[in-house]
């Protein structure tokens, strides 16, 4: 591991909470695609499979920010454990209903309740923000590392989920995802020493973190970006089946994540100067353009190469997004703010996977990559329209009286200035 990555694990407990976050985030990559594979194996209905995956994502989008708002107020351990239990019971109900061929409405009901699953990526990143408050260089490296962890999950998660569901039994992928969720959440919440201090009710004036104009732009753009991810997942599974090698879908999606992982590792080694918003816009444009070659895919090898190249822009854009969230959202609402970006992705994944499922059923998998191509174009348009909001100076709002030790234009803590956050 390169030296900057070793440095961030010097404080006690950092390696442990990051490892717990890795395990707890595997379900993010496993559950949706696992449900798609499970339902397609049991019924052959890609429309239903995509709609259920969309319901999972939408429920997380609606419930997740509320869970994170409670976390900011009452702490991770008090909130995450009961929320996770509700999600685990819902997953169990979904698997039983699918196996018993229950009416579709029961599947959708259970899928909706799975949305209580916490956003462990936001929880881990908020711990890093607490550990490296005011140290922008190490915080950039920490965020980069967590984006690499995200991509590791997306490399191995689909392989495990699709592989188990196609080789063992259809419900195996979502079942193991639930096990990982339980282990990761309860391990993370057992680590009280690194848990961010909850902020009392009086520090939560001003309503939701989503009132920030900058956060609104980031979330809207991530809706379109999530549609890219959701559509690519569903279409790739169907395209691989069309090519007579459905089991290869997990490997192709792993190549997509590998491109992002590689870019994230390199990106974390570079200490950037200048406005983060400009780097973010370049990343969004690169993601949108990278969807165009998918329209020309003719075989799985070409698809894998195109997705690897497309993946190179993902992690850098995600890393920069988290830095922008931290700039535009008060510290007392940081976990909620980070979760809203995850919410944008979740909504987009829901829309993209659902739209892709219906397009596959209507015109076939070989034409369905038009869905992520359109979504990528929408992301670019939103990015350009909202760019000026991200470049406007914002108040320094770390604690109840505001300062968090970070220059909002991308610099370090001013020399001689103390952090006044208790």
Number of neighbours of residue 101 by Cβ within 10 angstroms: 9
pLDDT at 376: 93
26-60, pLDDT tens digit by residue?
887 788 778 888 887 787 777 788 788 778 877 88
pLDDT higher for 419 or 225? 225
Classify the C-alpha dihedral 88-90-95-99 as positive or negative: positive
Domain boundaries, the chain: 13-193+209-391
pLDDT at 286: 93
pLDDT at 406: 36
Q: Is 329 helix (H, G, I), strand (E, B) or coil?
A: coil
240-277, pLDDT tens digit by residue?
888 888 778 878 888 888 888 888 888 877 777 767 78
Average pLDDT of the residues in 151-173:
78
Report the C-alpha dihedral over residues 49, 51, 55, 57, rounded to 10 degrees.
Answer: 80
Nearest-10 crossing angle of helices 136-167, 172-189: 150
Classify the C-alpha dihedral 109-120-315-166 as positive or negative: negative
Average pLDDT of the residues in 128-134:
81
Average pLDDT of the residues in 295-302:
86
In whole angstroms, give the CA distance from residue 182 to residue 160: 17
The domain 13-193+209-391: what is its CATH number? 1.20.1250.20
In whole angstroms, give the CA distance from residue 384 to residue 285: 9
1-32, pLDDT tens digit by residue?
457 778 888 888 888 989 998 898 888 778 87
Token reading at 52: 């259920």
Instruction: Using alpha carbons only, give the angle 266, 372, 259 rounded to the nearest 5 degrees.
Output: 20
pLDDT higher for 314 or 403? 314
In whole angstroms, give the CA distance from residue 305 to residue 58: 30
Work out the pLDDT band at 210, boundaries 50, 70, 90.
Answer: low
Work out the pLDDT band at 420, boundaries 50, 70, 90.
Answer: very low
Number of neighbours of residue 13 by Cβ within 10 angstroms: 15
Which residue bears the tokens 């950039």?
Answer: 140
Flag whether pLDDT at 69 surpasses 60: yes
In whole angstroms, give the CA distance from residue 335 to residue 129: 10
Query: Which DSSP string do the residues of 381-395 spell out, in sequence order?
Result: HHHHHHHHHHHS---
Work out the pLDDT band at 206, boundaries 50, 70, 90.
Answer: low
pLDDT at 207: 58
Work out the pLDDT band at 208, boundaries 50, 70, 90.
Answer: low
Flag whether pLDDT at 231 surpasses 50: yes
pLDDT higher for 176 or 422? 176
pLDDT at 379: 93
Number of neighbours of residue 381 by Cβ within 10 angstroms: 13
- Please list, in sequence order, all residues whose beta carbon lies within 8 angstroms of the beta carbon of residue 58, skipping any fewer than 6 positions away: 112, 115, 346, 347, 350
For the chain, state the CA radius of gyration: 20
In whole angstroms, give the CA distance from residue 350 to residue 50: 8
pLDDT at 404: 38
* Whether pTM exceeds 0.75: no
In whole angstroms, give the CA distance from residue 103 to residue 83: 26
């Amino acid at each position: 591991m390169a030296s900057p990555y070793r440095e961030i694990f010097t404080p006690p407990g950092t390696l442990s909470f990051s490892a717990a976050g890795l395990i707890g985030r595997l379900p993010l990559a496993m559950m949706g695609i696992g449900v798609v594979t499970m339902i397609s194996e049991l019924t052959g209905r890609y429309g239903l499979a995509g709609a259920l995956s969309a319901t999972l994502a939408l429920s997380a989008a609606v419930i997740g920010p509320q869970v994170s708002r409670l976390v900011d107020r009452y702490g991770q351990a008090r909130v995450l454990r009961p929320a996770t239990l509700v999600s685990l019971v819902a997953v169990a109900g979904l698997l039983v209903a699918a196996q018993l061929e229950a009416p579709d409405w029961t599947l959708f009901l259970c899928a909706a309740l799975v949305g209580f699953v916490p956003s462990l990526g936001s929880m881990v990143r908020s711990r890093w923000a607490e550990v490296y408050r005011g140290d922008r260089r190490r915080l950039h490296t920490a965020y980069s590392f967590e984006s690499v962890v995200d991509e590791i999950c997306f490399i191995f998660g689909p392989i495990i989920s699709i592989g188990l569901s196609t080789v063992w039994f259809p419900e195996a992928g979502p079942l193991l995802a639930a096990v990982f969720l339980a282990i990761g959440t309860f391990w993370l919440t057992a680590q009280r020493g690194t848990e961010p201090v909850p902020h009392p009710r009086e520090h939560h004036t001003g309503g939701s973190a989503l009132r920030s104009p900058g956060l609104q732009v980031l979330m809207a753009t991530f809706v379109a970006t999530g549609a890219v991810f959701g559509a690519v997942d569903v279409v790739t599974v169907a395209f691989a089946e069309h090519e007579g090698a459905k089991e290869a879908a997990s490997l192709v999606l792993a190549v997509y994540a590998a491109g992002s992982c590689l870019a994230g590792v390199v990106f974390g080694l570079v200490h950037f100067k200048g406005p983060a918003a400009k780097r973010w816009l370049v990343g969004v444009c690169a993601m949108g353009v990278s969807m165009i070659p998918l329209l020309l895919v003719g075989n799985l090898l070409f698809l894998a190469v195109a997705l690897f190249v497309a993946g190179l822009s993902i992690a850098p854009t995600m890393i920069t997004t988290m830095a922008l969230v931290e700039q535009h959202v008060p510290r007392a609402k940081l976990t909620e703010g980070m979760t809203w970006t995850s919410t944008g992705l979740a909504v987009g994944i829901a829309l993209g996977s659902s739209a892709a499922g219906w397009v596959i059923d209507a015109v076939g998998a070989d034409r369905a990559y038009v869905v992520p191509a359109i979504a990528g174009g929408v992301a670019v348009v939103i990015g350009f329209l909202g760019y000026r909001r991200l470049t406007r100076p914002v108040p320094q709002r770390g604690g109840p009286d505001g300062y968090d030790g970070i220059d909002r234009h991308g610099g370090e803590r001013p020399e001689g200035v103390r952090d006044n956050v208790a």
